[in-house]
Chains A and B, each alone.
Chain A
Amino acid sequence: MAKKYDFLFKLLLIGDSGVGKTCLIIRFAEDNFNSTYISTIGIDFKVKTIDVDGKKVKLQIWDTAGQERFKTITTAYYRGAMGIILVYDITDEKSFENIQNWMKSIKENASAGVSRMLLGNKCDIETKRKVPKEVGVKLAKDHGISFFETSAKSSICVEESFFLLARDILFKINKKQSPTAREEKLTPTDKKSSKCALI
């Protein structure tokens, strides 16, 4: 309960139902995976404290229900988010197409300066891939945001992506606080996450 962190960042995951948002969070926060599909109801969150560039950052990761019926509930939580992760399923074309809609939803509901990131999940199931990596890369590029292909199941790039987003937010904060101090170099650190194709 004590003060154990320097920052509290609120992240939010959105994307179609079934793309693996909850699994990503559980993988990240608890390093766990369960293949049973349980659709998220409404909204939930998990907390994990990480170390970013020497700062203790407490991440509160909001998990949203992808189903349309919960839209009104979930969109209410966009506003408070400092980082939003858009997730699609690389084996599900529709979920990728819908990213555009989710983007729109961010625009309508989230704060202006929110950091975004695109994740193509389930990259462990290469055989069922429907969305080529390049397409994801391009979409992310078009929006000027980072992109990873992840697998919550095989634990690929999950941690990296969360760290990157956290670092991104931290960077923004530092920039705001001390416009002159640029000691936080975002790009080099980003590139560190080597094995994950980062754009």
Chain B
Amino acid sequence: MAAVKALQQWCRLQCEGYRGVEVTNMTTSFRDGLAFCAILHRHRPDLIHFDSLRKENIYENNHLAFHVAEDQLGIPALLDAEDMVALKVPDRLSILTYVSQYYNYFHGRSPIGGMAGIKRPAESPGDPPSTKKNQPVPANVVTVPSQRAAQSNRGGTMSSSCNACKTHVHLVQRHLVDGKLYHRNCFKCSECSTILLPGTYKPGIKPGTFICTTHQNIPNVRNPASPNQNTSTLSSNQNPKSKLEDLVPKSDQKIRSSPVPAGGSSKPDRQTPPTSTTNNNNATAKPFTISALSQRTAEPTSRVTTPRNQQTTITSSTNKPPAGTSSFQPQTSSSVALKNQQARQRFFQPETGTSTSGTSSRSGVLASVQVDPSPAQRSVGVSAAGGGDRKGRVLLKVGQWGKEEKEEKERAKQVIIKKVLEDKMSGAAALKHAEKRPGAELKDTEKSPAPSGRVQMRPVGACLQPTSSPRANRSPAAFTSNKESRDYSSPSTNSAEREPVPSDWRSLLKPVTKDQKSCGSRDRLEPQSSGPEALKAPPTSARGTTGGSAPAGGANRSAGVKDDVTTTKLAKGNPDRVPAEDIDAELQQIEERLDQLEKEGVELEKKLRACEENREDDLLQNELMVQWFHLIRNKQVYMRRESELVYIAKTQDLEEQQPSVEAELRRLLEKPEHLKTAFDRKKEEELMNRLVGIVNDRNAILEGLDEDRLREEEEDEQLMKMMESLETKKDKDKKKTVKSKLFGRTT
């Protein structure tokens, strides 16, 4: 299977030189987690202290890799560290899929930092300890793997069924949060049922639940059942003065906005007064546009809102119990989700049944797969192995492996190793070359049919990136794929072709540049639904008024004037601003796309697995695999764009929050010192902290972007160097063959 093989080669190269890491297959080679760590470390040595890792700490290694990848690079953790411990042979398709995300990330580097997500630099230390953050691993987990395995076995459902809806989660739908598995669209705010995106949620009141970060601000309009329903009415009656009052621990709003133990929630809530103001006044057009908007339109914005203020009040926010709600296109998404679930259920009944069987054949399959010397056959076999593994995964068959299987595996391993060694001469070298894109690019640009260099990856066939930069013409993927398809795969040499021919899967990853230019930022995604349109009107007006009205409505008239000025300033100064409704609309569409992709993915996974089981036609299988990678990549691109939008919205939200916090603070500051009460002083301090926090958060986002930029430069440099050194090495021996093979006859 060419596609798989290519990916494996890539992994092998990434892990080259790492102690104790050798990628000889796409299952057990990854089990101890070191391979993941090595790949991460190769690209981001700052994130992982590789030398401190020990091979036997399976759980820890995997846990580390998954979390680092997710938290720092925004690569969703498809895999669960516990499963890696529990399964002697991890599910192959899962590994392939997960690793392909690494590949997509490190080779299609988005300037913003990731394919699937964006690290959230603005998260200040005072952030509520994110549930996603590395949790201290109980010591016994590591030392007593069997125990851990037993645990996860017990919770066998955990690794394959959704924590929310209890039905099976297909690979493409996997969404791991805090070690718990969800369908991506089952991971919802417990208050408003909005699908939660990374960086936009926080732990809910009840353990195991999550809610939008925005929640104390935004009463849920959409959800009548929500306790906030009355909130919105209440709040709309309140005048802006309530801003000040918000700070006073008396208000009902906290409580009503979320059924939290009053003691816990109310106190912290108070510390985000502007936010709460927003929701109170949203009816009267308040400054926090995004939140206000989202509330009005009950649109996806709300999840974007993620008021930074939480982080702003560093100390206070930590223990803030989530409250309030935001509503977000619950209709579409949830209905889709529902559909998905039904579909899933349908799928799953039979599938679980089958999975029990075939254990014994697995290792055999694996062997045949990996060992097969002819490239074409190889590819087929590989995917078959995946099928077997999967069953293992699904059922969490810990320790069910017969001895003879082990032996078989050993044998297989040896063959593989031999095979790999053979490969190293040609394949690995070729791949290596392929990896050095920048260098290669320089020398062989003309060979690459597509504009060489990196491209901001985008889903093939879709126009997703309105704000994309001119970098679009740098496309390594396209370039690389040329060689690889030639080297490893079937006769099809035309890498430019995007048909799901049994060529290298990477060729399919080739960024599609053509659509991109033509798409204006407005119509990037063809408006499929009426949603975006409907949205437009009210939000705009809301935003228009936001700036002035909030502060002006405040107690201090003179301050109001100034505030107006400030806000105007701010509004004017933002030509780059992406209108909130545009963000909403795009998010909504991404959501729909994702749902669609997942639906397709579920089908595809079933086909793939069936294929593996029945050992069907190689070609068919490779084709499916290529489709699969393609799909995963597209999903990743959408998700990355999604986080990018969240990012943009966050910054904009911060920028919008700032004037009103400032206005409020200004009023206090103008009060003669002797008239200030202790409370005034305290509040002044709080507001000051908040203000500084907002500015710092904005700064952090900016610096985060810059870090990515610098890192990219460094990587390019490194690649150049590697290329150079490779050059000299190659000169000695295989230069002619390898290089000409690589670059000579590309078309």
B698 contacts A1, CB within 8 Å? Answer: no
Question: What CA separation (Å) do A72 and B276 show in the bound complex?
Answer: 29
With A41-B662, A41-B691 as given contacts, are A2 and B566 in contact (CB-CB < 8 Å)?
no
Question: What CA separation (Å) do A8 and B707 show in the bound complex?
Answer: 10
Q: How far is the CB of A120 from chain B (nearest CB, A)?
A: 24
Which residue of B467, B569, B695, B702 contacts A8 across the interface (Cβ within 8 Å)? B702
> Would you call A103 an interface residue if the criterion is a C-beta within 8 Å of the partner chain's C-beta atoms?
no
Question: What CA separation (Å) do A4 and B469 show in the bound complex?
Answer: 7
Contact with B along A1-45 (1 / 0, CB 8 A): 111110010000000000000000010011010101010011111
Tell me the nearest residue of chain A to B578, going by C-beta: A1
B698 contacts A45, CB within 8 Å? Answer: yes
Question: What CA separation (Å) do A44 and B648 show in the bound complex?
Answer: 18
Tell me the nearest residue of chain A to B710, going by C-beta: A8
A2 contacts B573, CB within 8 Å? Answer: no
Tell me the nearest residue of chain B to A26, going by C-beta: B569
Question: What CA separation (Å) do A84 and B688 show in the bound complex?
Answer: 24
Tell me the nearest residue of chain A to B644, going by C-beta: A1
Which residue of B469, B569, B669, B692 contacts A3 across the interface (Cβ within 8 Å)? B469
B573 contacts A29, CB within 8 Å? Answer: yes
With A34-B569, A46-B573 as given contacts, are A1 and B705 in contact (CB-CB < 8 Å)?
yes
B669 contacts A32, CB within 8 Å? Answer: no
B688 contacts A2, CB within 8 Å? Answer: no
Tell me the nearest residue of chain B to A44, going by C-beta: B695
Question: What CA separation (Å) do A2 and B688 show in the bound complex?
Answer: 32
**A residues near B173, Cβ cutoff 8 Å:** none
Q: How far is the CB of A13 from chain B (nearest CB, A)?
A: 14
With A34-B569, A41-B665, A41-B691 as given contacts, are A3 and B698 in contact (CB-CB < 8 Å)?
no
Question: What CA separation (Å) do A121 and B501 show in the bound complex?
Answer: 67
B573 contacts A32, CB within 8 Å? Answer: yes
B565 contacts A36, CB within 8 Å? Answer: yes
B708-742 residues with Cβ-Cβ distance < 8 A to A are 708-709, 712
A43 contacts B662, CB within 8 Å? Answer: no
Which residue of B111, B562, B569, B699 contacts A2 across the interface (Cβ within 8 Å)? B111
> Would you call A73 an interface residue if the criterion is a C-beta within 8 Å of the partner chain's C-beta atoms?
yes
Contact with B along A72-107 (1 / 0, CB 8 A): 010000000000000000000000000000000000
A38 contacts B572, CB within 8 Å? Answer: no
B692 contacts A45, CB within 8 Å? Answer: no
B666 contacts A41, CB within 8 Å? Answer: yes
> Would you call B377 an interface residue if the criterion is a C-beta within 8 Å of the partner chain's C-beta atoms?
no
Contact with A along B567-585 (1 / 0, CB 8 A): 0110011000000000000
With A1-B111, A2-B111, A2-B469 as given contacts, are A42 and B692 in contact (CB-CB < 8 Å)?
yes
B691 contacts A32, CB within 8 Å? Answer: no
B467 contacts A1, CB within 8 Å? Answer: yes
**B residues near A30, Cβ cutoff 8 Å:** 569, 572-573
A32 contacts B688, CB within 8 Å? Answer: no
**B residues near A73, Cβ cutoff 8 Å:** 688, 692
Q: How far is the CB of B417 from chain A (nearest CB, A)?
A: 42
Which residue of A1, A3, A41, A45 contacts B699 across the interface (Cβ within 8 Å)? A45
> Would you call B471 an interface residue if the criterion is a C-beta within 8 Å of the partner chain's C-beta atoms?
yes
> Would you call A60 an interface residue if the criterion is a C-beta within 8 Å of the partner chain's C-beta atoms?
yes
> Would you call A196 an interface residue if the criterion is a C-beta within 8 Å of the partner chain's C-beta atoms?
no
> Would you call B315 an interface residue if the criterion is a C-beta within 8 Å of the partner chain's C-beta atoms?
no
> Would you call B479 an interface residue if the criterion is a C-beta within 8 Å of the partner chain's C-beta atoms?
no
Q: How far is the CB of B340 from chain A (nearest CB, A)?
A: 30
Contact with B along A29-68 (1 / 0, CB 8 A): 1101010101001111111000000000010100000000
Question: What CA separation (Å) do A5 and B708 show in the bound complex?
Answer: 12
B708 contacts A3, CB within 8 Å? Answer: yes
With A1-B648, A2-B112, A2-B471 as given contacts, are A43 and B709 in contact (CB-CB < 8 Å)?
no
**Contact-residue size bin, chain A (C-beta under 8 Å from the other chain):** 20 to 34
B468 contacts A2, CB within 8 Å? Answer: yes
Contact with A along B281-296 (1 / 0, CB 8 A): 0000000000000000
Q: How far is the CB of A68 from chain B (nearest CB, A)?
A: 13
Question: What CA separation (Å) do A58 and B701 show in the bound complex?
Answer: 14
Q: How far is the CB of A20 from chain B (nearest CB, A)?
A: 14
**A residues near B565, Cβ cutoff 8 Å:** 34, 36, 38
Question: What CA separation (Å) do A41 and B669 show in the bound complex?
Answer: 9
**B residues near A60, Cβ cutoff 8 Å:** 699, 702
Question: What CA separation (Å) do A26 and B572 show in the bound complex?
Answer: 10
A3 contacts B471, CB within 8 Å? Answer: yes
**A residues near B702, Cβ cutoff 8 Å:** 8, 47, 60
B566 contacts A38, CB within 8 Å? Answer: yes
Question: What CA separation (Å) do A58 and B658 show in the bound complex?
Answer: 22
**A residues near B468, Cβ cutoff 8 Å:** 2
> Would you call B456 an interface residue if the criterion is a C-beta within 8 Å of the partner chain's C-beta atoms?
yes
Question: What CA separation (Å) do A38 and B666 show in the bound complex?
Answer: 10
Tell me the nearest residue of chain A to B696, going by C-beta: A43
**B residues near A47, Cβ cutoff 8 Å:** 702
Question: What CA separation (Å) do A68 and B341 show in the bound complex?
Answer: 61
A1 contacts B666, CB within 8 Å? Answer: no
**A residues near B561, Cβ cutoff 8 Å:** 36
Q: How far is the CB of A52 from chain B (nearest CB, A)?
A: 16
> Would you call B647 an interface residue if the criterion is a C-beta within 8 Å of the partner chain's C-beta atoms?
yes
Tell me the nearest residue of chain B to A2, going by C-beta: B469
**B residues near A4, Cβ cutoff 8 Å:** 469
Question: What CA separation (Å) do A1 and B691 show in the bound complex?
Answer: 24
Question: What CA separation (Å) do A22 and B261 show in the bound complex?
Answer: 45
B647 contacts A1, CB within 8 Å? Answer: yes
**B residues near A8, Cβ cutoff 8 Å:** 702-703, 706, 709
Question: What CA separation (Å) do A178 and B335 show in the bound complex?
Answer: 60
**B residues near A44, Cβ cutoff 8 Å:** 658, 695
**A residues near B662, Cβ cutoff 8 Å:** 41
Q: How far is the CB of B548 from chain A (nearest CB, A)?
A: 13
A5 contacts B709, CB within 8 Å? Answer: yes
**B residues near A34, Cβ cutoff 8 Å:** 565, 568-569
Question: What CA separation (Å) do A132 and B705 show in the bound complex?
Answer: 43
Q: How far is the CB of B128 from chain A (nearest CB, A)?
A: 24
A26 contacts B712, CB within 8 Å? Answer: no
Q: How far is the CB of B565 from chain A (nearest CB, A)?
A: 5
Question: What CA separation (Å) do A33 and B699 show in the bound complex?
Answer: 24
Question: What CA separation (Å) do A163 and B562 show in the bound complex?
Answer: 30
Tell me the nearest residue of chain B to A25, going by C-beta: B573
A2 contacts B572, CB within 8 Å? Answer: no
B691 contacts A42, CB within 8 Å? Answer: yes
**A residues near B692, Cβ cutoff 8 Å:** 42-43, 73
A42 contacts B695, CB within 8 Å? Answer: yes
**A residues near B111, Cβ cutoff 8 Å:** 1-3
**A residues near B562, Cβ cutoff 8 Å:** 36, 38
A26 contacts B709, CB within 8 Å? Answer: no
**A residues near B569, Cβ cutoff 8 Å:** 26, 30, 32, 34
Q: How far is the CB of B352 from chain A (nearest CB, A)?
A: 43
Contact with A along B536-577 (1 / 0, CB 8 A): 000000000000000000000000011001101100110000
Question: What CA separation (Å) do A15 and B111 show in the bound complex?
Answer: 36
Q: How far is the CB of B304 from chain A (nearest CB, A)?
A: 14
Tell me the nearest residue of chain A to B573, going by C-beta: A30
Question: What CA separation (Å) do A75 and B691 show in the bound complex?
Answer: 16
B112 contacts A1, CB within 8 Å? Answer: yes
Write 26 A-B pairs (CB below 8 A) sorted by A numbering. A1-B111, A1-B112, A1-B647, A1-B705, A2-B112, A2-B467, A2-B471, A3-B111, A3-B705, A3-B712, A8-B706, A8-B709, A29-B573, A30-B573, A34-B568, A38-B562, A38-B566, A41-B662, A41-B666, A42-B688, A42-B692, A42-B695, A43-B695, A46-B573, A58-B706, A60-B702
Extra A-B contacts (4), CB below 8 Å, given A5-B709, A8-B706, A45-B698: A3-B469, A8-B702, A42-B691, A42-B692
Closest 10 CB pairs of A and B: A2-B469, A3-B111, A30-B573, A8-B706, A2-B111, A36-B565, A3-B709, A38-B562, A1-B112, A43-B695
Please report B residues at the A interface, Cβ cutoff 8 Å.
111-112, 456, 467-469, 471, 561-562, 565-566, 568-569, 572-573, 644, 647-648, 658, 662, 665-666, 669, 688, 691-692, 695, 698-699, 702-703, 705-706, 708-709, 712
Please report A residues at the B interface, Cβ cutoff 8 Å.
1-5, 8, 26, 29-30, 32, 34, 36, 38, 41-47, 58, 60, 73
